[in-house]
Structure 1
């Protein structure tokens, strides 16, 4: 019987250990596929970075099929959840360098060739990420405070004016009130970022979010004005949290969300430029396989 053609799906790079091998063997990946280490764990030689992989059906994962799948929100959500579940479970046991969802190779031989080519960069990055985790810090302007500010009456009743002029004056007051609030929010965001920086080794500033993505951890709405990721040493995690929380206290109309610890997606994926928050200098993350 001919086996169905497959592609090699790569989730992450990690240094193989017996504990990692047991974790890999216990997990299922996208399309409920079994995971494996590539190359397999070799107890006779020094450990070098390996890929965590699974085999997926060629018919469902070839380029033409993926174009269709990427328009299916249900498929995207299920696949992203499965990919993230693998990464997070691995990161609980080892330092991992996560790769993009749907990182695919025609076969294991081509995956191995890419791994060998980039092993020095992978090894350097894994050394940087060891004993660190990613934390997210998001700052929001609360909509309830914004609305209250817009509706606030003036301190003194203005002289009677035509309806048109009164409308323009009200719109001008609202515009100035909003500008003031966003300037305050921007200053608050920078204050919080400055408090976080000394406790992290690297930071990435992501684009702010909009729409449904602005709903916070507690289900509160607001306009996102800061969306940062920090690479934090494990032994400074609590200090980092306290510093951010304290910086966000007593800021009217501002909400601060801290998330994590996460696997270091923002500091391991190809292409993002990371910034050392203490020096302001940037370093480029090594590119993953293409």
Structure 2
């Protein structure tokens, strides 16, 4: 018989029996709720031939496998969040040998989990991304004199001007991103700036200048959206994308679980 373990998706507090009916975990395994004091962990059984330490080292290099597991991991966490209103996600592939080990982990991390849940109670995460079209490099100044433009000196001058323009554009983009982030952060209870995503991930030709996560009180969601709408009106050259509400991944996920 294959050896199994308990895969932990998230911790929460109050969750009604049957609240996760119809939701399955990895490989369609049924979900279980394990309690320790006033905390609960949502887990499912996994085969350690696939999710054991050695197997995971191999699977983490398989992007298709990783995407499938991450998607189901996220689906369960969202279901727990909707059912309980409060969730602390565990990082991907957090696995214990037994259910008792899961309870021991809840006890060991009790204070940290409690603080994390207190921090996000009644709040959700929103994502704000900003894209700014790149300004074309102006080389018109080098086309006035064809003979001069063909010389090495003119070529170096042209390259220097192009570099200066690009550097200035980068400075301007950083300033715009910082201004937008500041305006949005004022309307949130907490915020995190993440590295801008590559064009290959965003699907947009324009570069991303801001990738921010914001923790927003659910009662203030309308005001938060109003701030975004105001920024859209004030900065028509910038493409702003807002998404949410989400489970508060950026503000509760335990890095060491």
Query: Does the pair score TM above 0.5?
Result: yes
Which residue of 207, 223, 226 maps to 1:242?
226
Which residue of 63, 67, 78 maps to 2:68?
78
CA distance in 2, matches of 1:108, 1:157: 77
Deviation per CA, 1:223-267, whole angstroms, max 9, x where unpaired? Answer: 222221110001111211221332244436532221221111100
Gaps spanning 5+ residues in structure 1: where?
Answer: 41-46, 272-287
- Partner residue, 1:129: 120
- Partner residue, 2:78: 88
Gaps spanning 5+ residues in structure 2: where?
Answer: none
TM-score relative to the length of structure 2: 0.90
Give aligned pairs, total.
255
Secondary structure, aligned partner of 1:207: coil
Does 2:197 align with 1:209? yes
CA distance in 2, matches of 1:136, 1:13: 22
Deviates most, 55-64 or 163-172: 163-172
Secondary structure, aligned partner of 2:141: coil
CA distance in 2, matches of 1:252, 1:171: 31
TM-score relative to the length of structure 1: 0.80
- Partner residue, 2:104: 113
Secondary structure, aligned partner of 1:23: coil
Q: Contact 1:14/1:96 (CA < 8 Å) preserved in 2?
A: yes
- Partner residue, 1:103: 94
Q: Contact 1:192/1:244 (CA < 8 Å) preserved in 2?
A: no
- Partner residue, 1:44: none
CA distance in 2, matches of 1:156, 1:72: 51
Q: Contact 2:139/2:158 (CA < 8 Å) preserved in 1?
A: no
Question: What displacement does 1:199 show?
Answer: 1.4
CA distance in 2, matches of 1:52, 1:266: 19
CA spacing shift, 1:233–1:115, aligned 2, 3 Å: same
CA spacing shift, 1:155–1:84, aligned 2, 3 Å: same
- Partner residue, 1:9: 7
Which aligned pairs between 1:139-150 and structure 2 lie closer than 5 A?
139-142=130-133, 145-146=134-135, 149-150=136-137
CA distance in 2, matches of 1:188, 1:247: 11
Question: What displacement does 1:158 show?
Answer: 5.3
CA distance in 1, matches of 2:61, 2:137: 40
- Partner residue, 1:275: none
